[in-house]
Amino acid sequence: MRQTAFLHALPVRQVDLKPDEILFKVLVPFSRANEYIKEFKQSPRREDDIAIVNAGMRVRLEKEGDEWFVAEAAFAFGGVAAKAIMAKEVAKEVIGKPWNQQTIEVCIQLKPRGPYTVYAIDLHR
C-alpha cells in the first residue's frame, strides 16, 4: 500500500492516484491535551472547495506555575496554489513565550524575511 500521496505538490484539482488505486483512508490525529488547532478558509462561494486564502494554526501549551507557555507551534498559509507557506520563523518566535495577548501581537507584527521558502506541509509530529 502506497502512503506517499501528499508528499509533493500537484496542480489544483488534480490528485496523485494511479488508475488502479483508490483512496482507502485519511488519518487525522486527535489533538493532545492543551493543544489547540484552528483553520480558516475564504472561498468565493460556499459551494466551492477552492479557497482564495486559507490558514492553519496549531499551538500546544504547557503550564508553569500560574502561567501558560507555548511548547509547540505551527502556522501554515496558502491560497489558490498547490503549495502552502509554513511560517517557521513565527513558530520559533513564540515557542517558550507566555500565551497572552502580547505574544500574539508580537506574532502579528513580525515582518517576513524573504525570500519565502515554500515547504510541503508535514502533519506528522
Looking at residue 87, its pLDDT comes to: 85
Who wins on pLDDT, 93 or 119? 93
39-88 residue pLDDT tens? 888 877 766 666 778 888 999 999 999 999 999 999 888 876 667 788 88
Q: Of 51, 113, 60, whose CA–CA distance to 84 is shortest?
A: 51
Helices (H), 31-119: 88-94, 101-109
d(CA 55, CA 75): 7
Mean pLDDT in residue range 99-124: 66
- Say which amino acid occupies 45: R
Q: Of 92, 89, 95, whose CA–CA distance to 112 is shortest?
A: 89
Helices (H), the chain: 88-94, 101-109
Bond into 115 cis (ω within 30): yes
Who wins on pLDDT, 102 or 47? 102
7-23 residue pLDDT tens? 455 665 667 778 888 87
d(CA 96, CA 107): 13
